[in-house]
Amino acid sequence: MRVIAGPEKKTRVMSEKERLVTAFHEMGHAIVGHVLPNCDPVHKVSIIGRGQALGYTISLPGEDKFLTTRAELADTMAMTLGGRAAEEIVFGEITTGASNDIEKVTATAKSMVMRFGMSEKLGPRVFGHDTTQPFLGRSMGTEPDYSDDVAREIDDEIRRIVEIAHQSARDILSERREDLDRVSKILLERETIDAEEFVALLEGQSEEEVFGSDDEESGAPATPEEPEAEAEKSASREGPRPAPRPRPAYGGGSAEMRSDS
């Protein structure tokens, strides 16, 4: 995880309001990604900061992939905008936390229109000459080879694709608002939710069913109810018996991952 998201920022202290916003932001990513069929499965959701991120949602493919379809790109953009959509729905306000998400989605939509020929309006065309010369230390970019009218059409298409993804995320989270509220509050308390736990919670299982009781979670042994008295009762009914052995301690499972992305 350190390689994917960077080291944990254990010294970073967020206010309760920021932790709350981060929890809903990350859960917005996760729920949209879970619902849309062309997104990679959610692997982990966390409000523990890593690198520059206040929290993060990790989704990993189930197999190696070398090609990406237009539907997959569209669903991935909707998932990326799920955090911003959650902030809009829950708080009626947006934060700077979605800046990296917007940057990613804009770059994806631009590539779909200008490089991949995935715009129905502009068709299977590539716009701009690639001027990338990394071995000469020059920055990557493209040189326009189209008119101002075409440039406006490109801008319109990029805006349209991004807005469709954004609306898709809002529609999903509005429909799953109850799940968004419930699981976000659990994430706020637990800080990290793994894939199996996330799926179970969305399927309607309670927090206790997913994470176990407090005694199991803390690893504390169950306290026997007056073993001497119980032994005396058994002896009076069925004759002498040895005192019951103390129960073993059961350790419960623990969960441990917003990106401003």
Q: Which pair of structure tokens corresponds to residue 253?
A: 């499972």
Rounded to an integer, what distance in angstroms lies between the CA atom of residue 81 and that of residue 24? 13
Contact status, residue 228 vs residue 53, Cβ threshold 8 Å: no
Per-position DSSP letters for the chain, written without gaps between them: -HHHH-SB-TT----HHHHHHHHHHHHHHHHHHHHSTTSPPEEEEE-S-BTTBSSEEEE--SS--S---HHHHHHHHHHHTHHHHHHHHHHS---GGGHHHHHHHHHHHHHHHHTS--BTTTBS---SEE---GGGTPPP-EE--S-HHHHHHHHHHHHHHHHHHHHHHHHHHHHTHHHHHHHHHHHHHHSEEEHHHHHHHHTT--HHHHH--HHHHHTPPPPPS-HHHHHHHHHHHHS--PPPPPPPP-PPP--------
From 8, 16, 18, 26, the catalytic residue: 26
Rounded to an integer, what distance in angstroms lies between the CA atom of residue 205 and that of residue 207? 7
207 in active site: no
Q: Which pair of structure tokens corresponds to residue 106?
A: 């804009």
Name the residue among 12, 26, 1, 146 with its Cα closest to residue 97: 26
Give the active site residues.
26
